[in-house]
Amino acid sequence: MTDIEGNYRKIRQSIPDHVILVAAAKTRTAEEVAAAIRAGITVVGHNYVQEAEKMINALEIRAEWHMLGHLQRNKVQKAVRVFDMVETLDSWRLAELLDRRCAAIGRTMSVLVEINSGREASKTGVLSEEVDGLVRRLAALDHIRVRGLMTMGPRFGDPEKSRPYFREAKAAFDRIAAARIPNVEMRYLSMGMSNSYEVAIEEGSNMVRIGTKLFGERDH
């Protein structure tokens, strides 16, 4: 058994069956990602469009691919061909462009709206009090389907400090779900990474993005 396979089994056994495990592949090799997929990973996430495209082309083994990084407008045309879901939709301008690019190739993109629950100036995402209005606007677009919300939370430090941010995102998720907005399906709440996924799941996450705990420490 490879280290990655062993790591995958440990993580999978420690989380509920309904929680989707997204392999965060930034800085990883195609060989590492292939090993994760062989171990049982079905969803792979990447922060960069071009690197993800190269990796997908290099892999003979298939998976669902999610955009995890901030999507720049000049990368949207390529992103709509590479990814199955964008987890980081954070503005109407980006949504309009995504919608147009998807329309041009005849596809519909699943998206999660990113919440900046920590209100950190360095982070992307909409504020939780603004997310309802954005989701209602997105519902009118023909080639985008809102499938839920995503939030980052602090990446390092005490995972307990992430709990208030996760609770805020879950409250927004429940509020929007209760509104029953047409063309909006609140299915996924993506929050929690290697150091915080257990706390995130306790607070309602059903999609976690794990890199280090799956692949091991990065080679710098």
Q: What token pair was written down for 191?
A: 């929050």
pTM: 0.94
Per-residue pLDDT 10s for the chain (220 aa) are 679 999 999 999 999 999 999 999 999 999 999 999 999 999 999 999 999 999 999 998 999 999 999 999 999 999 999 999 999 999 999 999 999 999 999 999 999 999 987 666 556 778 788 999 999 999 999 999 999 999 987 666 788 888 999 999 999 999 999 999 999 999 999 999 999 999 999 999 999 999 999 999 876 5
**What CATH architecture applies to the domain 3-215?**
Alpha-Beta Barrel (3.20)
What DSSP assignment string belongs to 56-125?
HHH-SS--EEEE-S---GGGHHHHHHH-SEEEEE--HHHHHHHHHHHHHHT--EEEEEEE-TT--TTS-S
Q: Reduce the DSSP state of residue 150 to 3 states and report it.
A: strand
HSE, side-chain direction, 13 A CA sphere, residue 211 = 14
What's the rounded Cα separation, in Å, for the pair 62 and 68? 18
Kindly list the domain boundaries of the chain, sorted by start residue: 3-215
